[in-house]
Amino acid sequence: MNSQGQTERVSGSKPYEVFEKAILKMKPEAKKLVYSTEGLSVFGHYKSFTINEYSALKGISKEEAFKQLEGFTQTEHLIKLNTKNGPLYTLKSKALEK
């Protein structure tokens, strides 16, 4: 809800641009945060990701996200936890320091 009492609802899995439009409609002066998407840097903000979340934050396809996450799992930077909703990748301690 904004200062005029208006609300904007976005639900479900939508492209980032849909959420961005809703935010800007409610708060036109909002500024987009710029963050690094190199290597494991996104894990500095959040400690675990699904393939969909990782692909959205990195701006890459789900296929490429899967390849990268599996690669980081093989190099022992990430731990993969299989859940009923798909794999969840978690940063191992000290992995960002490498």
- Is the CB of residue 81 less than 8 Å from the CB of residue 87? yes
User: Is residue 57 located within the same domain as residue 83?
Assistant: yes
User: Is residue 72 located within the same domain as residue 45?
Assistant: yes
Structure tokens at 66: 């899967």
Range of the domain at 87: 41-97
The three-class DSSP label of residue 81 is: strand
How, if at all, do strands 48-49 and 86-91 pair? Answer: antiparallel
What's the pLDDT tens digit per position in 24-50?
988 889 998 888 889 899 998 888 999
User: Is residue 15 located within the same domain as residue 46?
Assistant: no
What's the pLDDT tens digit per position in 67-93?
999 999 999 999 999 999 899 999 987
pLDDT value for 55: 92
94 vs 62: which has the higher pLDDT: 62
User: Is residue 28 located within the same domain as residue 69?
Assistant: no
Number of domains in the chain: 2
pLDDT value for 98: 46
Cα–Cα distances (Å) from 55 to 2, 37, 82, 91, in that order, read 30, 10, 18, 16
